[in-house]
Each structure stands twice: as structure tokens, then as C-alpha cells.
């Protein structure tokens, strides 16, 4: 991660804002009581994009701050730091996978982007999310896992394609590294 200057802070703030709006306002949430069972939307994309383009530290900051701001703006039950760490991992893992990928050709390869996004989504959005829902709220894995797996099978290629398009068309995506 390069030094934190005002330009970087502005980009992170934009991605944090997009994360909050896409995950808290522009998504469909299915809940049972105080517990969110499923969320259909693209709220994770700004976190993943930030991790891939600006690095794993930036992805972690965008994910964690986005979760905290989202909790203040539109709380979905009580605050659980488990999910803040989870949100940070969504940006950290793809950033770590793509850390050596600096050239435009590498950063716009659909398959490399899919390979970078998949581990983070499996670890954070499927396994850890289900684990935290189970230990904190007692939601059975049989209820959580099918919806999470199906949603990520759809989201991962969409996130990779959107990242490819944005990196191709936005000069900041290449100059930031």
C-alpha cells in the first residue's frame, strides 16, 4: 500500500460510501426476527474492488469502515464485531491474491480475477458468515449455506467481470499501484 494521502482517502471514502449504499439500501435482505438469513445485492463489490486495485490493507479498511458506517446508518440488529472482521477479510483476501499483479493485462484477466475473488468469498461470505450466524444466533447451517453458496456462484463471476471493466476503463485503477 502506498502512503495514505488525501487522494487515496477520497477513493476509499467513495468505495466505503458505495459499500454502505449497495449493502444497506440497494439490496434485498431476508431476515428471521433479528437475524439476517440472506442478503441479495452487490455490497461486497466495492470492498473487493478496493482490495484488488489499492491493495489488501485498503481492502480491509474499506470493508471494516464500511461495515461500521453501515451499522450506524442502517443497523440490522445489534453490533457484532465478528461481521466487521468478516467484511475486512472480503477486501484483504483478493488483495493478497492479486498483490503481485501490477500490469493491466494481469489485472483485467477474467479468470485471474475469478481466482482472486473466489477464496475470499468462500472463506468470508460463505464459511465464516455461516459460522458466525450459527454460533451467535443459532441459525442452522442447513438454512444458511444453500443460499450463501448459490449467491456466491452468481456473484463471483459478476464481481470479476465488473472489476475487469472498471480496471480497463478507469486509469486510476492502474496508476494507484
Q: Which ranges in 78-175 belong to alpha helices (H)?
A: 81-97, 104-107, 110-120, 129-137, 141-169, 171-175
pLDDT score at 41: 82
Mean pLDDT of 140-144: 88
Q: Which residues of 104-117 are buried (b: 16+ CB within 10 A; e: fewer)?
A: eeebbbeebbbebb
CA separation (Å) from 43 to 15, 53, 142? 10, 17, 24
Please provide the CATH number assigned to the domain covering 6-35+42-171.
Answer: 1.10.1760.20
Q: How is the chain split into domains, by residue range?
A: 6-35+42-171
**3-state class (DSSP) for residue 79:** coil
Global pTM reads 0.89
Mean pLDDT of 107-128: 95
Tens digits of per-residue pLDDT, 84-108? 999 999 999 999 999 988 788 888 8
Tens digits of per-residue pLDDT, 16-55? 999 999 988 877 766 666 666 667 789 999 999 999 999 9
DSSP 44: T
Amino acid at each position: 500500500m502506498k502512503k495514505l494521502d488525501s487522494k487515496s482517502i477520497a477513493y476509499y471514502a467513495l468505495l466505503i460510501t458505495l459499500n454502505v449504499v449497495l449493502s444497506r439500501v440497494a439490496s434485498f435482505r431476508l431476515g428471521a426476527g433479528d437475524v439476517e438469513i440472506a442478503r441479495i445485492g452487490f455490497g461486497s463489490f466495492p470492498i473487493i474492488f478496493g482490495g484488488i486495485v489499492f491493495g489488501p490493507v485498503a481492502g480491509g479498511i474499506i470493508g471494516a469502515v464500511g461495515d461500521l458506517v453501515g451499522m450506524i446508518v442502517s443497523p440490522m440488529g445489534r453490533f457484532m464485531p465478528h461481521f466487521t472482521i468478516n467484511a475486512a477479510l472480503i477486501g484483504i483476501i483478493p488483495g493478497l491474491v492479486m498483490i503481485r499483479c501490477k500490469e493491466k493485462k494481469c489485472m483485467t484477466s477474467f479468470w485471474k480475477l475469478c481466482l482472486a475473488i473466489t477464496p475470499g468469498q468462500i472463506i468470508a461470505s460463505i464459511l465464516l458468515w455461516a459460522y458466525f450466524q450459527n454460533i451467535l444466533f443459532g441459525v442452522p447451517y442447513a438454512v444458511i449455506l444453500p443460499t450463501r453458496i448459490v449467491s456466491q456462484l452468481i456473484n463471483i463471476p459478476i464481481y470479476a467481470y465488473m472489476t475487469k471493466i472498471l480496471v480497463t476503463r478507469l486509469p486510476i485503477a492502474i496508476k494507484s499501484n
